[in-house]
């Protein structure tokens, strides 16, 4: 991946948006480097769309600062939008228009001739340009949105839940397109609540929870993190083991009481000194033990269920 | 696919809005012309030639009822009949212009696609002004078509001394009141579109505003109190003054200008503010 400019593609400092007394996002600090594919994950309602809409100037921030490609998100909004492609999570368009006409209307706002690119993208996604948008399925409307977001070869592509409604084949074509855009030099902000998607395509990930960024990690680091998934099979009743584990620092997401042919089982995530873990396990009667790499889903839940947000 | 326009995004929005409203413009202009021809070329000669019978009917009306519909003893002259007709012509223009304002400025709200237009590289004020220019164009085209139809109808009454006693420029000045009504109701429609969270029926809201404007005319007519003209926008364009003296009343013209400016500036301020029209996110209490 080539980075031609040191200016961050997206930079936010203490970015805050409140809806009256309701929470939107609080103190969001992001630094997305040019040329990377940056994942933005969190459950529904965590603040992903609010962050994106604040960045795009669709809603006004309550506090903090935000810039895209070195330009202020509010003052330089029009200049920013020339260089940004955006796919919203929910796609709505004018009634009565064919995809062809709608995309031609959108293309007219940019300084480049997008005709050939519209044709190419539509062909790759299998989009019928002559169909009226209102008659299209969610998946096909999403395709229109993808073409609209990519047709002008933007420097920054912002995708908000981009794959909802797309069938697996189109998803594959879509991911190929995003990788090609990234190889061309485009930065991608990929918002999703589906971790496997993020794992598939992103370099780094920010996890947002209840409007706060709780972690920013590379996908590789998250996989390699000290967090381990530990599964114990205990000879006897696991109550005493659970008691011991609950008082062991670094143990999270403890689930106990399951039974199999090996005996009672307990599973948990562990982050910390492995000697302390071994010492805690040494006092237990085990029939089996498995210490494994957690799935990204488990890593996510680890962050998501950690200490309460301030 | 037609080659996309390069640059001039505001002109792009303007052309899109005009194209989108073309059917509505044609229907509106046709309606206005039909009403004009039916009233001036159709009904007026019948009224004039059946004066005694019509007078008997008018005498049977309660004065308030006659005032409500703009009927008085003057309807047997061309100028008088034009004054009477102008209320209905203003009503037609008011409904049309209000509908254009609602449709143009409420388009993204109705389609829920503000996120489509507002992420295009064009400032919101440029979008607002482009839409306003499209609305003004519609009002001007409809107004010019109306002026042409009035002038053509007028030429049919060369042998009617009540018509020839009015100079054509004065008649056209009186007919120009429709530009004022159109502009005012376009601005009202625009502001309403910006203010309302949802626009369920463009035609319903526009008709309600038009009928309200029409009904308010009867307030000064029935009470005889001139001060009530301030709440009756159709009376701000005094057709009698235009026909008789070749002018409009400066105070009411100023009132009209202030009202239009207030509506358009208030609409612009709300329209350009971030958050306007945008779909609520899941954290937004509106969601």
User: Can you give the pLDDT at residue A240?
Assistant: 82
B23 Cβ under 8 Å from any chain A Cβ: no
Give the distance from residue B16's alpha carbon to the nearest chain A alpha carbon, in angstroms.
Answer: 8
Are B281 and A20 within 8 A, CB to CB? no
Range with the largest mean pLDDT of B89-98, B196-205, B215-224: B89-98
State yes or no: pLDDT of A235 exceeds 90: no
Are B273 and A60 within 8 A, CB to CB? yes
Are B279 and A111 within 8 A, CB to CB? no
User: Which residue out of B283, B285, B286, B287 would a mutagenesis test of the A interface target, given it has the greatest number of A Cβ atoms within 10 Å?
Assistant: B283
| Number of inter-chain CB pairs under 8 A, A vs B | 112
B62 Cβ under 8 Å from any chain A Cβ: no
Show residues of chain A in contact with B7, CB under 8 Å.
111
pLDDT band at A197 (very low <50, low <70, confident <90, very high): confident
CATH class of A10-223: alpha beta
State yes or no: pLDDT of B66 exceeds 70: no
B11 Cβ under 8 Å from any chain A Cβ: no
Angle between helices A168-184 and A115-125 (to 10 degrees): 140
CATH 3.40.50.300 residue ranges for chain A:
10-223
Are A22 and B278 within 8 A, CB to CB? no
Are A22 and B4 within 8 A, CB to CB? no
User: Can you give the pLDDT at residue A21?
Assistant: 82
User: Can you give the pLDDT at residue B278?
Assistant: 67
Mean pLDDT over residues A189-201, rounded? Answer: 86
E strand or H helix at A206: strand A204-209
Are B121 and A81 within 8 A, CB to CB? yes
pTM of the predicted model as reported, rounded to 2 decimal places? 0.84
| A44, A56, A79 ranked by CB distance to B282: nearest | A44
Are A58 and B274 within 8 A, CB to CB? yes
Mean pLDDT over residues B108-128, rounded? Answer: 91
Give the distance from residue B259's alpha carbon to the nearest chain A alpha carbon, in angstroms.
Answer: 29
Residue of A nearest to B119 (CA): A81
The answer to whether the beta carbons of residues A164 and A123 sit under 8 Å apart is no
**3-state DSSP call for residue A228?**
strand
- How far is residue B82 from each of residues B31, B38, B45, B71, measured CA to CA in Å? 17, 12, 12, 11
Of the two residues B71 and B55, the one the predictor is more confident about is: B55
| B1, B12, B282 ranked by CB distance to A109: nearest | B12
pLDDT band at A2 (very low <50, low <70, confident <90, very high): very low
User: Can you give the pLDDT at residue A269?
Assistant: 86
Mean pLDDT over residues A30-57, rounded? Answer: 93
| B7, B115, B278 ranked by CB distance to A111: nearest | B7
pLDDT in tens, A65-92: 999 999 999 999 999 999 999 999 888 9
pLDDT band at B20 (very low <50, low <70, confident <90, very high): very high
Show residues of chain A in contact with B286, CB under 8 Å.
19
| Domains of chain B by residue range | 9-272
- How far is residue A232 from each of residues A238, A276, A286, A293, B181, measured CA to CA in Å? 10, 16, 7, 15, 82
Measured CA to CA, the distance from residue B260 to residue B180 in angstroms comes to: 9
- Of A296-300, B29-33, B143-147, minimum mean pLDDT range: A296-300
State yes or no: pLDDT of B4 exceeds 90: no
CATH code, A228-293:
3.30.70.260
Show residues of chain B in contact with A86, CB under 8 Å.
115, 119
Q: Is B150 exposed, middle or buried (0-12, 13-18, 19+ CB in 10 A)?
A: buried
State yes or no: pLDDT of B1 exceeds 80: no
State yes or no: pLDDT of A204 exceeds 60: yes
Mean pLDDT over residues B257-270, rounded? Answer: 96
Are A106 and B107 within 8 A, CB to CB? no
State yes or no: pLDDT of A260 exceeds 70: no
Average pLDDT of chain B, as a whole number = 88
Show residues of chain A in contact with B275, CB under 8 Å.
58-60
State yes or no: pLDDT of A310 exceeds 70: no
CATH 3.30.70.260 residue ranges for chain A:
228-293
State yes or no: pLDDT of B3 exceeds 60: no
User: Can you give the pLDDT at residue A111?
Assistant: 87
Mean pLDDT over residues A109-121, rounded? Answer: 94
pLDDT in tens, B204-249: 999 999 999 999 988 887 777 888 899 999 999 999 999 999 999 9
Mean pLDDT over residues B124-144, rounded? Answer: 96
- How far is residue A271 from each of residues A82, A150, A308, measured CA to CA in Å? 44, 41, 17
Mean pLDDT over residues A103-132, rounded? Answer: 94
State yes or no: pLDDT of B2 exceeds 50: no
B2 Cβ under 8 Å from any chain A Cβ: yes
Please give the structure tokens belonging to residue A168.
Answer: 């697996």
- Read out DSSP for A115-144? HHHHHHHHHHHT--TTSBGGGS-HHHHHHH
Q: Where are the beta strands (DSSP E) in A6-145?
A: 10-19, 22-32, 37-41, 63-68, 71-72, 84-87
Please provide residue A132's backbone torsions phi and psi, each rounded to the nearest 5 degrees.
-70, 140
């Amino acid at each position: 991946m080539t980075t031609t400019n040191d200016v961050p593609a997206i930079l936010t400092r203490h970015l805050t948006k409140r809806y009256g007394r309701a929470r939107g996002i609080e103190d969001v600090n992001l630094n997305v480097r040019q040329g990377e594919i940056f994942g933005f994950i969190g459950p529904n309602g965590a603040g992903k769309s609010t962050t994106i809409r604040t960045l795009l100037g669709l809603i006004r921030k309550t506090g903090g600062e935000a810039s895209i490609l070195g330009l202020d998100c509010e003052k330089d909004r029009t200049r920013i939008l020339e260089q940004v492609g955006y796919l919203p999570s929910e796609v709505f368009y004018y009634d009565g228009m064919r995809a062809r006409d709608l995309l031609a209307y959108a293309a007219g706002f940019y300084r480049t001739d997008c005709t050939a690119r519209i044709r190419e993208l539509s062909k790759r996604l299998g989009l019928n340009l002559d169909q009226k948008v209102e008659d299209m399925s969610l998946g096909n409307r999403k395709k229109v949105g993808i073409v609209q977001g990519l047709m002008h070869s933007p420097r920054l592509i912002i995708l908000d839940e981009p794959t909802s409604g797309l069938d697996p084949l189109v998803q594959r074509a879509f991911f190929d397109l995003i990788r090609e855009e990234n190889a061309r030099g485009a930065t991608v902000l990929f918002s999703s609540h589906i971790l496997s998607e993020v794992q598939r395509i992103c370099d780094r990930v920010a996890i947002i929870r209840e409007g706060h960024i709780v972690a920013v990690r590379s996908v590789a680091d998250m996989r390699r993190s000290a967090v381990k998934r530990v599964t114990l099979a205990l000879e006897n009743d696991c109550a005493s083991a659970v008691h011991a584990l609950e008082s062991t620092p670094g143990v999270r997401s403890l689930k106990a009481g399951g039974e199999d042919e090996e005996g009672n089982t307990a599973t948990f995530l562990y982050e910390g000194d492995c000697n302390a873990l071994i010492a805690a396990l040494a006092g237990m009667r085990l029939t089996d033990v498995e210490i494994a790499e957690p799935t990204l889903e488990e890593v996510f839940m680890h962050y998501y269920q950690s200490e309460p947000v301030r | 696919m037609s080659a996309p326009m390069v640059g001039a995004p505001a002109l792009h929005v303007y052309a899109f809005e005009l194209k989108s409203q073309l059917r509505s413009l044609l229907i509106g202009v046709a309606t206005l012309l039909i009403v004009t021809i039916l009233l001036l070329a159709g009904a007026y000669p019948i009224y004039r030639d059946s004066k005694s019978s019509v007078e008997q009917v008018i005498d049977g009306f309660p004065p308030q009822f006659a005032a409500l519909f703009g009927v008085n003893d003057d309807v047997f002259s061309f100028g008088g009949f034009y004054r009477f007709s102008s209320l209905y012509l203003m009503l037609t223009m008011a409904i049309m212009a209000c509908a254009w304002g609602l449709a143009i400025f409420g388009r993204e709200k109705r389609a829920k696609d503000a996120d489509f237009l507002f992420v295009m590289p064009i400032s919101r004020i440029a979008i607002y002004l482009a839409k306003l220019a499209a609305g003004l164009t519609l009002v001007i085209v409809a107004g010019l078509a109306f002026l042409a139809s009035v002038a053509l109808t007028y030429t049919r009454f060369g042998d009617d001394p009540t018509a020839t006693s009015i100079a054509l420029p004065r008649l056209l000045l009186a007919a120009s009141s429709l530009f004022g009504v159109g502009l005012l109701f376009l601005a009202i429609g625009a502001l309403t579109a910006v203010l309302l969270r949802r626009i369920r029926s463009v035609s319903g809201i526009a008709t309600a505003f038009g009928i309200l404007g029409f009904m308010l005319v009867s307030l000064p007519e029935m009470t005889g109190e001139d001060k009530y003209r301030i709440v009756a926008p159709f009376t701000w364009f005094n057709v009698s003054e235009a026909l008789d003296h070749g002018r409009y009343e400066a105070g009411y013209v100023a009132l009209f200008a202030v009202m239009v400016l207030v509506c358009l500036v208030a609409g612009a301020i709300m329209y350009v503010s971030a958050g306007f029209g945008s779909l609520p996110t899941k954290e937004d209490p509106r969601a």
